[in-house]
Chain A
């Protein structure tokens, strides 16, 4: 009896059950979705425990009992539980938040169905060991996210969703093309087998070509500049929990996780590709933060800031030393926590004030203390104010840049972190502080329910204490093991085949 396929069974099953019962039994969709998310979170934690006890820290599941590379495999190594915990933790807290938040939309069960489908896609991407499977799960997650962005069915939302769908499909087609070419070259779809075949066949011109296709396709999903243009429209238009999901985990799983899995573990990181990664990362960091500087729409500001923070994560991964990869992964975790927190906050704020324009808000801290203070914590964490989580991950990335002898990159990272500080304190904090002057306080109609508050408080607490993950014996093992998977590169193939014996 193995736990591996349950990540997909539970989430797909929940989606199915919600679509069957949700329409007729009103509360069933809440219960089903939340319990499914809880089970997924518990399973991720269990997997972490499991993988620590397994020799070699790798676990391969054969779907249908067929032996890979003939059959499909699902691989759990140390990076997997790290990603699973990130995704399912955030998803669980967002599901709790959605119970009350989504009341204002009709057909909540449709939302939950799509939500669980998206989650199934993300879990699938993380655990699969097969590149075509990865594409299928990626499409499941992406298509359900197109629908979710359009969930409000207003003109703005439909337009955003259309743009997102068109650009997303362009990206997906390039990924599919890349997979097809790779298949013709290596005659296999299993990632471990593919890695082996590529090492055996040696370098060929086809590989850089496929690399470019993948970089564009997954880079688009990760919203790296210049493939980012869908994100500033899609994130603000989606309902708040979906913005939180998109920004918090979707762009990381579909984009960064897939990119790093393929480029580190299958192709092996080359100097040239690493240079491209760095260029994309720097472009995202700088362009995202400069654009965020001019924003006064709260969700758009967060969206641009996501682009810029994704740049940090990719920068960390691209430098490729163990320290920098650890910084990148840690920033990935931190960013999913505080950015989903901020998007949830923006949902409450938009809901109660009736505008997204930060210039029209003031005194949120006094009228809605939970929302106000959690927003403050999220903003402080993303600005890298010690001792919150964001400070530590940025610190590690900057140190790693210096260690790898890239002082210019470190300076750019510092410059962007100054910009981040500037645009958050220019736009967001005045809306939190600020006295009554000119603000109609009657407009604070609906305050957040306790479930929404609980979810925001939980995320805020996590972003305060996530720095503890660096303390030995607490969480450093988790990060270090996840880092070693990427740092070890293409020895991934050997590990998988050893585990299959």
Chain B
């Protein structure tokens, strides 16, 4: 008999309440708000409870349906935390169809927890599949033409990866005759188990947004509602995708050099390619979308190194990325809400209007670029160490992976300089003078996340690593380089402070500011340097130009290429179906001849 269990409750409650929320009309929107606030809060509390009480499980009949071990309870905690913050943020952002919106948010929460806790492969694929459709429904909330196109693309790519994952699970089942994840431990020696691993990895890549299944992510980031982007592609999809990859690589399969190589290649290519694309974007959210792809590369790279420190770095980077990336999207949403656009050419100088948003965005940008002492630096540092350790074991190409990772990090910083400059610094255009700071519902989640970026960076070893990450991978970690974040931060702070102290004494005393004279023209329209064109020169470099043109023509987009191929066959078949009856009869006869041939001569 099914008895109540905290894990079942955690998964079931948000789904049930979410379904109940769906039919609420906008007259009852406060009900939807209160319900979703309470449920996400309860879910956060429940996750903390489960995290403390772990391990836990739920038996359904003879099978262990849900299991909360170190890794999954940590992922569950992350999921609930982001759901809670995004719910608060949505109070300020979403105005229409609140019942449906919060309903989908809650269902997504429950289902994601289901993925994290699932111990049964069938339960995993069921929850995983539902997530694809909730992503579709959430992105398609406004149902504009562009957002529904993005939603469709996301659904088709992720749905396809689900189908591929079914194949992988079927292979696992064929080899081991069990669906219980805790009983599966396959060495990747034969082709079947390697195929199974690749299938599972494809699903993880598509969900997290690694190449070559990334192309839905920038579209969704640009056209979807911002809280949804911060909720799913930026945080939950990363947590779940990398969770699945880690689960497969650490528990379900025993990795070897071939499978690690696959991950290393995917990771490096993702980092470099996506960040190069991000450099030349001119939409706030699309730029972030490409970074959301690029950062996945570090996580995949970390897991691909196969050394404990690399894996820990990958998982830590997953957590960090979810934090600063959703923070960045939330700041983007605040800018969008106040300025009415996310087009970088139209923005500028918003730091004066929106200081809190600016500071949060600055911290998150520095964190994502791997600037010490923020959290992104620590996790990248660990990933680098993982790669170096890989090099020690004799792998030849380690220097390539390391170079990709470091170069990608530099380019990230470059593109965020552009983002910060064009949005918050630089000159304001006239329309943006009267913009107000974002309200509490916006500020609270942004500031919380930016604060966590600092805390996780400064106290990296004391808090996140020792509580969440190290127990998850279940191995002791040895560090190569020494990085003492607290001392380093103290030194950094001292140097910055002394700089501030010295600054007033050496400031040039005499200068004057005048209007530029441009022959009577309106200077505003002529001289405003928005900074959007910062890196356009690399677009014109030989070789790179070709790649950029191909990307803009969607030649690397698995979705568009697939569509073209299918359309080609459709045309041929449509041509054959000419509506002439004798043709159809001839087909029947040809079919019979074929069958005769098979039955009599084979």
A291 contacts B573, C-beta separation under 8 Å: yes
Among B234-242, B322-330, B592-600, the stretch that binds chain A is B592-600
CB pair B152–A425 under 8 Å, yes or no, is yes
A179 at interface by CB-CB < 8 Å: no
- By beta carbon, the residue of chain B nearest A434 is B143
Alpha-carbon distance between A66 and B566 when the two chains are bound, in angstroms: 58
Using CB atoms, name the residue of chain B closest to A160.
B579
For residue B132, CB closer than 8 A to chain A, the reply is yes
Q: What is the size, in residues, of chain A's interface with B at 8 Å between Cβ atoms? A: 63
A222 to B122, CA, bound (A): 32
B156→A290 contact, CB < 8 A: no
* Contact yes or no, A398 B167, CB < 8 A: yes
| Min C-beta distance of B115 to chain A, whole Å | 12
A-B CB contact pairs (8 Å), 7 listed: A227-B591, A276-B598, A407-B171, A421-B156, A425-B136, A425-B152, A425-B156
Q: A112: CB under 8 A from chain B? A: no
B507 at the interface (CB under 8 A from A): no
Q: Judge if A435 is at the interface, Cβ distance under 8 Å.
A: yes
Say which one of B123-131, B455-463, B475-483 lies at the interface with A: B123-131
Pairwise interchain contact A383-B591, C-beta atoms closer than 8 A: no
Q: State the B residues within 8 Å of A (CB).
A: 122, 125-127, 129-130, 132-133, 136, 140, 142-145, 148, 152, 155-156, 159-160, 163-164, 166-167, 170-171, 173-174, 562-563, 566-567, 569-571, 573-574, 577, 579, 581, 583-585, 587-588, 590-592, 595-596, 598-600, 602
In the complex formed, the residue of A with least CB distance to B571 is A294
Question: A226-B587, A275-B598, A276-B599 are known contacts. Are A386 and B129 too (CB-CB below 8 A)?
Answer: yes
Contacts of B127 in A (CB 8 A): 386
A166 within 8 A of partner (CB):
yes
Q: How far is the CA of A399 from the CA of B590 in the complex (A)?
A: 33
Cβ distance A175 to chain B, nearest Cβ, rounded Å: 13
CA distance A398 to B170 in the complex (A): 8
Give the interface SS of chain A, mostly helix, strand, loop or mixed: helix
Chain A residues with Cβ below 8 Å from B136 are: 425
**Which residues of A from 284 to 315 have beta carbons under 8 Å from B?**
287, 290-291, 293-294
Q: A160-172 toward B: CB 8 Å interface, digit per residue (1/0)?
A: 0011001100110
The answer to whether A294 touches B567, judged by C-beta atoms less than 8 angstroms apart, is yes
Q: A216-B595, A226-B588, A290-B570 are in contact. Are A418 and B160 (CB under 8 A)?
A: yes
CB contact under 8 A between A386 and B574, given known A216-B592, A421-B160:
no
C-alpha spacing A227/B586, complex, angstroms: 10
A290-B566, A291-B574, A435-B143 known; A212+B130 contact, CB < 8 A: no
**Of A9-17, A228-236, A328-336, which stretch is located at the interface?**
A228-236
Q: How far is the CA of A422 from the CA of B132 in the complex (A)?
A: 13
Q: Is A465 an interface residue (CB 8 A)?
A: no
Binary interface encoding of chain A residues 398-411 relative to chain B, with 1 for a CB under 8 A from any of its CBs, else 0: 11011100010011
Q: Inside 8 A of A386's CB, which chain B residues have their CB?
A: 125-127, 129-130
Rank and list the top 9 A-B pairs by shortest CB-CB distance, nearest first.
A229-B584, A294-B570, A208-B599, A386-B129, A402-B170, A386-B126, A226-B587, A226-B591, A418-B160
Q: Report Cα–Cα, A230/B579, bound state, in Å.
A: 9
User: A290-B566, A293-B566 known; A212 and B170 CB under 8 Å?
Assistant: no
Q: Which residues of A contact B590 (CB under 8 A)?
A: 226
Distance A273 CA – B600 CA, assembled complex (angstroms): 11
Given contacts A418-B159, A418-B163, A437-B145, 7 further A-B contacts (CB under 8 A): A166-B585, A212-B599, A290-B569, A386-B129, A398-B166, A403-B170, A421-B155
Closest to B598 in A: A276
Q: Are A399 and B152 in contact (CB under 8 A)?
A: no
Closest chain A residue, CB of each to CB of B177: A403
Contact of A229 among B122, B570, B574, B577 (CB under 8 A): B577
Q: What residues of chain A lie closer than 8 Å to B133, measured between beta carbons?
A: 380, 385
Interface residues of A in 237-292 (CB under 8 A from B): 272-273, 275-276, 279, 287, 290-291
A215 CB–B CB distance under 8 Å: yes
Alpha-carbon distance A443/B163, docked complex (angstroms): 39
A387 at interface, CB cutoff 8 A: yes
CB <8 Å contact, A273 and B599: yes
Residues of B within 8 A of A230 (CB): 584
Q: In the complex the two chains form, is B573's CB within 8 Å of A287's CB?
A: yes
Q: Give the nearest-CB partner of A362 in chain B.
A: B143
Nearest CB to that of A366 among chain B residues?
B143
Whether, in the assembled complex, A430 has its beta carbon less than 8 Å from a beta carbon of chain B, the answer is yes
- Chain B residue with Cβ nearest A229: B584
**Chain B residue contacts of A170, Cβ below 8 A:** 585, 588
B171 to chain A, nearest CB (A): 6
CB distance from A326 to the nearest CB of B (A): 15
Report the minimum CB–CB distance from A143 to chain B (whole Å): 18
**A232 to B577 CA separation, bound complex (whole angstroms):** 10
A167 touches B585 (CB 8 A): yes
A434 to B166, CA, bound (A): 31
Closest to B599 in A: A208
Chain A nearest CB from B154 CB (Å) reads: 10
B65 to chain A, nearest CB (A): 14
Q: With A and B bound together, what is the CA distance between A15 and B88 in angstroms?
A: 63
Chain B: CB-nearest residue to A166:
B581
Confirm or deny: A211 has a beta carbon within 8 angstroms of a beta carbon on chain B.
Answer: yes
**For B148, B159, B163, which residue has the most chain A Cβ atoms within 10 angstroms?**
B163
Expressed in whole angstroms, the Cα–Cα distance for A227 and B585 within the complex equals 8
Chain A residue, CB-CB nearest to B156: A422
Interface string of A349-389 (1 = CB under 8 A from B): 00000000000000100000000000000001001111100
Q: Are A399 and B170 in contact (CB under 8 A)?
A: yes
Q: Once bound together, how far apart are the Cα atoms of A380 and B166, in whole Å? A: 17
Q: How far is the CB of A442 from chain B (nearest CB, A)?
A: 20
Question: Does A419 sit within 8 A of B, measured CB to CB?
Answer: yes
Nearest CB of chain A from residue B223's CB, rounded to whole Å: 14
Do A211 and B599 touch across chains, with their CB atoms under 8 A apart? yes
Whether A146 is near chain B, meaning CB under 8 Å from some CB there, is: no
Interface string of A217-229 (1 = CB under 8 A from B): 0011000001101
Q: Are B587 and A229 in contact (CB under 8 A)?
A: yes
| CB of A429 closer than 8 Å to a CB of B | yes
